[in-house]
Amino acid sequence: MSKIGNYIITGKIGEGGFGKVYAAEHEILGTKVCVKRNTFPSEEDVELLKYEARLLWQLDEHHSIPAIKDFFLLDEENAAMVLKFIEGKTLEELVDKKGPIHPEDASWITERLLGALYYIHCHGVVHTDVKPQNVFIEPRKRDIKLIDFGLASFKPTSATKPLGYTPKYAAPELIIKNPPTPETDLYGVGMVMLRALGGDINKRAFRDDTPEELVDFGNKLLLYDPKERPNWDKENLIETLSDIREKVFGRRHCGTPPKLKAVKGGGI
């Protein structure tokens, strides 16, 4: 059983191209945490992990952003970041296991994601990798956590190049190496919404049984040209979606119990 500082590693949670994430416990307090380490030893990857840690340190006052607890430089080519433990699963895991999420639940998940993005955009950060794998769902809290800021851009300019992207979910401007903008993240919201509702990711098409108002909202986010997508200056997207929830479901807030509802042929 390995140990980093006061944290005892208890198991592996997941792995990406850049980092590995482990479950751990503080050896004195017994509290759970997540520990993220760079996958491959290199000074460049250590700098990327330090970059992500600095961003999160500025942003973790928001309830939908992971709270950073500590950072360790293990040696010149290895580092570890300690984050508050997140209870739940990613949206990708939930949909992959049980199928589409009920439109009302997909709506509050999308609304929480928009809230997190509005917060980081106001602080000059563009995530650039908004996708179902980076959205943790916390049903009991009616909340989400937007994770993995390793590819994020801070105050991007016209000369900024994307650090990377996930082709399946990437906004068109990232693929042609154009600078990321807040509208880039809003495209990602559209893709997350599409996946949650069981739509066709490759064709960018929602299911036929998806409420028309949600389809229209999602399709606006998925427009090819970022200048044609909604933005925060033109529209309060959180309020727009809240209005849609009231129109379609008769309420702006989900009631109890805190259990995600199923749809026919799927669900959580």
pLDDT in tens, 96-127: 998 999 999 999 999 999 999 999 999 999 99
Q: Which residue has the higher pLDDT, 134 or 253?
A: 134
Q: Which residue has the higher pLDDT, 143 or 165?
A: 143
SS3 55: helix
pLDDT in tens, 172-217: 999 999 999 999 999 999 999 999 999 999 999 999 999 999 999 9
pLDDT in tens, 9-37: 999 988 876 789 999 999 999 999 999 99
Residue 122, token pair as written in the block: 């106001």
187-218 as b/e: b if 16+ CB within 10 A? bbbbbbbbbbbbbeeeeeebbeebbebbbebb
Identify the pLDDT of residue 256. Answer: 45
Q: What is the mean pLDDT of residues 155-171?
A: 90
**Domains (ranges, CATH) in the chain?**
6-84 (3.30.200.20), 89-249 (1.10.510.10)
pLDDT at 265 > cutoff 50: no
Residue 141, token pair as written in the block: 């809290």
Q: Nearest 5°: CA angle at 156, between 232 and 124?
A: 50
| pTM of structure | 0.91
Distance between CA atoms of 219 and 233, rounded to whole angstroms? 19
Active site residue ranges: 129
